[in-house]
């Protein structure tokens, strides 16, 4: 059965790193899968949205609808996106076959230390800093990612969660 693995979390939490490793594992196992990254999807959809809460919500729904379209065609989807909105995640559960939500969680101290994209501290609209986010209430799996475990160990936890 194909699934949609929706990796959500704040910028710098490790969604893309862990999600890409998961995608590679699925492909090695012979799955027909696609990898979607929120930053890349913004460009694919024309780069017409900013980073306000309203634009982020529109972007999240674009991502969700694309995942639903692909899933309904029998393709396994790995989508890594902030999309910290309860309404989007609820839409996903109702409309995406095989939806599996993974919350990649990291403390604000960890996110500020990593700061790979230079977002924390530059005054832009940063989710979780400049506006409130809706933390996932019922994810299928929470991966605590403050650096105590390697991405490969996170993948092992995901694998165990799926096979239980």
Q: Which residues are catalytic?
A: 83
Residue 4: strand, helix, or coil? strand
**Interatomic CA distance for residues 114 and 129, integer angstroms:** 15
Burial of 5 from C-beta contacts in 10 A (0-12 / 13-18 / 19+): buried
Token duo for residue 81: 């996106």
Contact 19, 35 (CB under 8 A): yes
Residue 101: strand, helix, or coil? strand
Burial of 84 from C-beta contacts in 10 A (0-12 / 13-18 / 19+): buried
Token duo for residue 4: 């949609």
**Interatomic CA distance for residues 26 and 20, integer angstroms:** 10
């Amino acid at each position: 059965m194909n699934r949609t693995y929706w990796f959500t979390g704040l910028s710098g939490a490790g969604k893309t790193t862990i999600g890409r490793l998961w995608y590679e594992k699925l492909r090695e196992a012979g799955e027909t899968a696609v990898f979607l990254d929120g930053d890349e999807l913004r460009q694919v959809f024309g780069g017409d949205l900013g980073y306000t809460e309203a634009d982020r919500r529109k972007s999240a729904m674009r991502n969700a609808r694309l995942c639903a379209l692909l899933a309904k065609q029998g393709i396994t989807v790995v989508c890594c996106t902030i999309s910290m909105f309860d309404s989007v995640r609820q839409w996903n559960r109702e409309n995406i076959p095989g939806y599996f939500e993974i919350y990649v969680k990291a403390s604000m101290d960890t996110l500020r230390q990593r700061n790979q994209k230079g977002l924390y501290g530059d005054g832009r609209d940063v989710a979780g800093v400049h506006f409130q986010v809706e933390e996932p209430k019922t994810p299928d799996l929470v991966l605590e990612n403050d650096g105590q475990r390697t991405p490969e160990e996170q993948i092992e936890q995901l694998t165990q969660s799926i096979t239980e």
